[in-house]
Structure 1
Amino acid sequence: MDAFFERALRRSKIHLLLLAALTVGLSHFAVRVDFDFTLERLFAPEGGLFTPPTRSTEALDTYRAFTARHGKNDLMLYAAFRVDDVFSPDTREKLRALAARLRAIDGVETVITIDDAISAARTLGFSDEEIRSEMTSSPIFRGTIVDGRGEVSVIIAQLSPQCVNQKEREPVLAAVREVLQRDGDALRTRFYLAGIPTIEHEYIRLTQRDLLKFMPISMGVFLLLLALYFRNVVGTFLPLATVLVGVIWMLGGMALAGRPVSVLTTIVPNLIIVIGISDSVHMLSRYQEDLARRPDRRSAVAHMMTRMTWACFLTSFTTAVGFASLILTNVAVVQEFGLVSAIGIMLAYVLTIQVVPVVLDNVPPLRGRFADEFAQLISTRSMRAVARWVHRRPGLIVAATAAILTGAAFGIPRIEENSSWLQDIDSQNEVYVAHDYIEHSLSSIFTVELSLAGDFRRLETIEALDAYETRLRGEPRVGSVVGWADVVKEAMRADPFVRERRLPRTQAELDRIHGVLKATLGKTGITRALMSEDFAYSRVTIRASERLEARGLEEVVAYAESVRDPAAPFTVTPTGKSWLAKKSLDGVIHSMIATVGVAALVISLVMAFTFGSIRTGLIAMIPNFLPMAVTAGLMGYLDIDLNFSTITVFSVSLGLAVDNTIHFLSRYRIEIHREPDHVKAIYRTLEGVGRPMVFSTILLVLGFSAILTSNFKFTFYFGLLGGVTVFTALLGDLFVLPVLLIWFRPTVRTPREFFARFRR
């Protein structure tokens, strides 16, 4: 193989020019990649990379049918404010002027204020004297558009469908904020702007900020450590330059494929840098070792390629398998994260084996030395000390490992599945504060929706519906319940022949009220929001008295299902964006067992093939489950919830953990063939690859640690759990794996030797 690589290196300069030209071309597209943090992408088989569009979950089907009948609130903005009296003529006049300015913004379709609600109440027949008391007590208006004291109200603005895209949404939000700021001064109040569009916009802002903030920090730390480790210009800059080119290729490829950056894929560039740089470190370390043994520079580069190409491929491939296993989930954005990460890591590998040898072949031999203090830390003497520990105290190592696993086993059951719309946003963030203000002053804008199917033209159905709504209000966490029965009672209260908030007493009376409602409120959209045109489907909206996370949401839904009278002439199905997110998270969690299992199986088979023994492959996997257990246990002890932000770490951790194992076993195979003494082979293996293993792990840990200063929780937790994973994996490969190899003494073969046995 040395001769093959030496021939390939003769065209190294042409090769380098071609790579540079391709990188320049892809960089043109990389800077044009779009961002799409639409929360709809969290739900869903449709839009997934490997799930056919016709295969939808039951929850998604229900949600689509529900929104087709009653409309969607994904593009609604809520601007809450407090004044002395929202019903005063002066306040209403200023709100009318404000609403007119908001409607004039391109991208804003409709605007509803307390003034519009008052007009609707007048349409029903309420007098001006009655309106205040009715609106502050009616379940339709109280907590929805006004509080019980008439001091807090909310302006609701519906954005146009094109505002789903960040490019169209950003100027609209900026214009809305500008109008609210100006009119807030006129009203002598402050507007709190909330809604799903503001959350999606804030996710993009925070991730873009972290991307621009932490990549330079990571690269600065890497440059410093690489300079200390290699003590020469090439060794300092080449590893980083290689992975940065990989990032450009990945982003350029996404732009060419029309794939936007999502909330999960924003961390992929950092991942490529942190993970991909270790291959360069191992290759450069091997090159420095071979320079002392080979006759010339090109020979040393060729020998380095012979020894490292396959080992680096395996580390990249197994890491990519860990990420790629996420395509087995049923959520599009998680599938995309797994696939993009896997492709990015393999691109980084391809570039590493292309760029590093070409550059080394065209620069003077690396003559740098290791910094004295750094060398003292991870010198040959240190690795020999580790080998002595493994040789002389294997029982202590096994006992310590068992103790760690036992501690993790007690922490794992404490992990709880939980998620919320604002889970990754800091409590001091402006968007978080706005939602918190609305929840405490009015009610949560995140609702639990119930889709009811029955014949709602019949009086007995409306009576059963009213009884059901009354029982729903008995749950302490339910702040308000709005359904069609409330609208009917409000119409009865406004009817000049009734003037009482009650249900109709006869079918004829109900038919008359239904006719009045369709004639008066049909154009406002209120009737469609709560009742289908054929009166076959209705809607009950539950607004919580507090923010419901996944656990609370599930409990409220369970309560709603338990209080329904089995004899009621309608069925109840939970739905809505929050419930759909909960069901999607359940699907991801349940599929994670399969994804981790598939990743483990594939990696085990690759290890068995590479090292010519199924037994060796199984032994190699044992220390690689240690990081997963420790990470899961830590999540339990630190009360880190299992959600979309943290669920991916388990598949990723397995792919990351196995990297050092492959480098260790690759060197171990060489040493055991030189001298078939397992203990001596362990000593020589640790002396040969222990140093780059430790250094690459330090780079990984510091790369993950650089993002721990983020107050964006998604980024923070990924950095924390990723750092714990790779550090624990290093301990497993330095101590646990050597003990297992000495105890079980497996045969380690090359793939050629493995297949030769079967031919015989």
Structure 2
Amino acid sequence: MLGLGLAALISVLFVILQPQVKFDYDFEQFFPQDDEELRFYQEFRTTFGNDNDYLLIALGQERGVFDQEFLDEALAIQDKIQALDLVEAVFSLLELEEPIIGALGVSYRNALDWSSDQKLEQSKKRLLSHPQYAGNLISQDGDYLLLMVSNKQRISKEEGDVLNLAIKEILSDSEIPLFYTAGKIKAQGEFVDLLQAEFGFFLAISFVLILLLLFLIFRTWWGVLLPVIVLSVGIGWTIALILLTGKALDVMSVMQPTILLVIGLSALVHLLSYYLKYLGNGVEKSKAIALTFKELFLAVFLTCFTTALGFSTMYFTSAVSLKQFGLYTALGVMVMFLAVLLITPGLLHLFSPLKAAENDRFKEFWRVYLGDALRWTWGNRKLVLSVFSILTIFSIFALSDLKINGYLLDNLPRDHELVQEFEFFDREFGGSKPLEIFLEAGEEVEDVFDLEFLRALDKVEHFVTEHYESGVIISPLSLVKALNQAQNGGNPKAYDLPSRGQYQRIQPYLDQALLQSNFKLSDSTKRIGRLSTRTADMGSHRSFEIKRDLETFVKQEVDPEILKIQLTGTSNLIDKSHETISTQMARGLGVAIILVGIIAGFLFRSWRISLMVLNPNVLPLLWMCGVMWLLDIELKLTTAVIFTVAFGIAVDDSIHFMTKLYNELGKGKRLLYALKRTYMETGKAIILTTIILVSGFAILTLSEFGVTFYAGLLISLALFFALIADLLLLPILLLPMDKVWREKRRRKNA
């Protein structure tokens, strides 16, 4: 009862401290933090600003945007948005003025003039044929007009929600019939809303599932009430600890309640099964509780410890979000172990009966079923080994053929409303994903506005337009092209790289145009600049292919003494994080496997035994690769995490099996007899816990988050594969160890 008192004291302490629930989502936490390219981008944005602090707004109607009433309403919307506190600027055709260089100097005309029907028609003809406007600030068919809202730099999640809501209200209250929005503040808000809904949903549905499974397994009210109390306390303690340390619940946190529930329930099923076995053998209640915890304490501790160890290896990744998820989940697993250890014995004293109810038919079913399974396994050793070998060879081939590929909105299904809106901008306005290229003037040119530099940059821009299929490019060259157009009376056909003579005539206007530009194109020295555009979210695999082609093209076609470039920006970092994190997770998984092997080797005093513990848990991970290959599931940041999670949980059953076997052998029994006793007694608990674990993780397939859905599907399959390996492969692998155990016993006796 001392444990119950201590648990109550801990719970009261958490209630007094009152942890505040907070949700957040910041995709920059998935960036590889120790990466050179991240440091480069951080320096880049000190000069040019954040490349994703904007919101795209498309306004449209079925008869097109070249309508006076529509444009008046659009201008009113722009003015209202511009007046919002967190908005720095709104850029669109509505107030854009084009320079015209004439004999008397520079004059300006409205890019879009709707003061009369005639001027509106002239504007329509000019804008839809202009390479800088069509498909950028206005859709190619003229049905939608784009507003680019630059919001406060490095805007916080809370501020972004306020701004997004204010803009949404302005658009909803307007008379514009069609509008779409896409950008960072919208994506973060939508993610967190969905996160909050899913967090509560999975927590609730997991408890419902547990109640059902507990009733089916134990068929008693105390067999349901006791685990629910223990698991509720364990999850409550974990969430309280997370919040008290200042960590907000994020997209990865959605999985934590289900993970902790199934892990805690797995331990409780083993404990209650052994407890009922002792009661059924006539052991007095208090003694049965003591014997249960004495026999299973080490096994339960090791299963929780190795699971926590698996999660903690995520700390070796460079993404803040994964580091925190790994450490906090590892902490949660050990907190759940503490809750089981402190609360379960006291509740068994209070709730459980003095003796177990007899169910001879149920006991006979397990005895016959497991006995037949073990005999079949030993009688078909060659068949079992052959099937396992074939599946493993196929899975190794599948692993070698898996490609790393991820998307900007990877955690959402492609038919989600948010994804559809982003794809609308990809289709109508050249893209929603920012693309930034850092430009530096070489030793042979004066600055980024030198004509030779611009000629080299023109080659790069043609490559970007063709291969990235990008929207309109903003760069030092685009400014010079605009001045060339101004020099030629505003003719859109003159929006091109000027000749040397034309360039000399527009040079006097460069500084003034640079000051009046809506985008910062260079620093004060003019030795560095930027190329900025937008692309569709084509996936990290395709992006890396184009990046390699760009590097090859620049190396072959561009003189570094004239122009140096480097791809940068948040999109580049997101694409890189998929590959970097996948590689780091593979290393972390390798570390986890080695550490579990070392622990098993020390525990069982045999390195060969430790390898046999690992085999039934490494093979399911390889088979999972085979399933991913068959279902065309790609490796990415979200799926790479799953391997470590699956291994950390799957190894539990093998440890329970081997701990029981070790105890039986310690009593002086021969290996065959000890294996049979272990298989008959532990097999039932392993099957039941796997059913619980698979059912718990299968619930996650109901999620709209990609990381949660794939976790549910693949971890469920991995745990099922691990069960098959534990019941079929492990007994076969252990048979040749009879001589090893006899030799160990002989040495011990000597």
TM-score, with length taken from structure 1? 0.89
User: Given the superposition, is the C-alpha separation of residues 337 and 229 from structure 1 closer, same or farther in structure 2, using an over 3 Å criterion?
Assistant: same
2:596 to 582, 603, 608: 603
2:400 matched to 1:413?
A: yes
Distance 2:71 2:397 in 1: 59
What is the SS of the residue equivalent to 2:22? coil
Contact 1:288–1:366 (CA under 8 A) maintained in structure 2? no
Distance 2:455 2:50 in 1: 27
Contact 1:326–1:334 (CA under 8 A) maintained in structure 2? yes
Distance 1:375 1:109 in 2: 73
Contact 2:23–2:196 (CA under 8 A) maintained in structure 1? no
1:98 to 74, 77, 81: 77
More deviation, 593-602/511-520: 511-520
User: Given the superposition, is the C-alpha separation of residues 284 and 547 from structure 1 closer, same or farther in structure 2, using an over 3 Å criterion?
Assistant: same
Name the residue aligned to 2:544: 554
Unaligned 5+ runs, structure 1: 1-8, 46-55
Name the residue aligned to 1:112: 91
Aligned-pair CA distance for 1:219: 1.6
Aligned-pair CA distance for 1:159: 2.9
Distance 1:375 1:646 in 2: 40
User: Given the superposition, is the C-alpha separation of residues 182 and 491 from structure 1 closer, same or farther in structure 2, using an over 3 Å criterion?
Assistant: same
Name the residue aligned to 2:178: 190
One-letter code of the match for 2:677? R
Contact 1:327–1:334 (CA under 8 A) maintained in structure 2? yes
Contact 2:597–2:611 (CA under 8 A) maintained in structure 1? yes
2:389 matched to 1:389?
A: no
1:441 to 406, 409, 428: 428
What is the SS of the residue equivalent to 2:640? coil
Distance 1:367 1:19 in 2: 32
What is the SS of the residue equivalent to 1:115? coil
2:512 to 516, 522, 526: 516
Aligned-pair CA distance for 1:221: 1.7
Within-5 A mapping of 1:440-589: 440-454=427-441, 455-475=447-467, 477-495=469-487, 500-502=494-496, 503=498, 505=500, 508-509=504-505, 511-521=507-517, 524=518, 526=519, 528=520, 530-544=521-535, 546-564=536-554, 565-567=557-559, 569-589=562-582
User: Given the superposition, is the C-alpha separation of residues 85 and 532 from structure 1 closer, same or farther in structure 2, using an over 3 Å criterion?
Assistant: farther
Name the residue aligned to 2:722: 729
What is the SS of the residue equivalent to 1:116? coil
User: Given the superposition, is the C-alpha separation of residues 231 and 470 from structure 1 closer, same or farther in structure 2, using an over 3 Å criterion?
Assistant: closer
2:171 matched to 1:171?
A: no
1:29-74 deviation per Cα after TM superposition (whole angstroms, max 9, x unaligned): 1xx23222111111131xxxxxxxxxx4211022112222222243
Distance 1:397 1:106 in 2: 69
Name the residue aligned to 1:634: 627
One-letter code of the match for 1:96? L
Name the residue aligned to 2:55: 77
Contact 2:579–2:637 (CA under 8 A) maintained in structure 1? no
Aligned-pair CA distance for 1:292: 3.7
Distance 1:171 1:138 in 2: 36
Name the residue aligned to 2:650: 657
Name the residue aligned to 2:698: 705
1:299 to 273, 287, 293: 287
Unaligned 5+ runs, structure 2: 114-118, 442-446
Name the residue aligned to 2:331: 343
Name the residue aligned to 1:144: 136
1:601-626 deviation per Cα after TM superposition (whole angstroms, max 9, x unaligned): 11001111111222211221111111
User: Given the superposition, is the C-alpha separation of residues 628 and 238 from structure 1 closer, same or farther in structure 2, using an over 3 Å criterion?
Assistant: same
One-letter code of the match for 1:406? I
User: Given the superposition, is the C-alpha separation of residues 652 and 13 from structure 1 closer, same or farther in structure 2, using an over 3 Å criterion?
Assistant: closer
What is the SS of the residue equivalent to 1:648? helix
One-letter code of the match for 2:552? S
What is the SS of the residue equivalent to 2:147? strand
What is the SS of the residue equivalent to 2:406? coil
Q: How many pairs were matched up?
A: 722
1:180-202 deviation per Cα after TM superposition (whole angstroms, max 9, x unaligned): 1121xx13x21111112222222
Name the residue aligned to 1:328: 316
TM-score, with length taken from structure 2? 0.90
Aligned-pair CA distance for 1:510: 5.1
1:316-371 deviation per Cα after TM superposition (whole angstroms, max 9, x unaligned): 11111111111111111111111111111111111111111121123343655488
One-letter code of the match for 1:517? A
Aligned-pair CA distance for 1:645: 1.3
User: Given the superposition, is the C-alpha separation of residues 370 and 617 from structure 1 closer, same or farther in structure 2, using an over 3 Å criterion?
Assistant: farther
More deviation, 348-357/455-464: 455-464
1:39 to 8, 16, 27: 27
1:377-436 deviation per Cα after TM superposition (whole angstroms, max 9, x unaligned): 6x1221112221232222222112112213323322332211111222223322112112
Aligned-pair CA distance for 1:485: 0.8
- Percent identical among aligned pairs is 26
Within-5 A mapping of 1:48-87: 56-83=34-61, 84-87=63-66
Q: Alignment RMSD, CA only?
A: 2.7
Distance 2:70 2:38 in 1: 42
Distance 2:361 2:487 in 1: 88
One-letter code of the match for 2:59? F
One-letter code of the match for 1:250? T
1:402 to 360, 377, 389: 389
Distance 1:399 1:626 in 2: 14
One-letter code of the match for 1:576? G
More deviation, 581-590/339-348: 581-590
One-letter code of the match for 1:463? R
Distance 1:443 1:160 in 2: 24
Name the residue aligned to 2:444: none
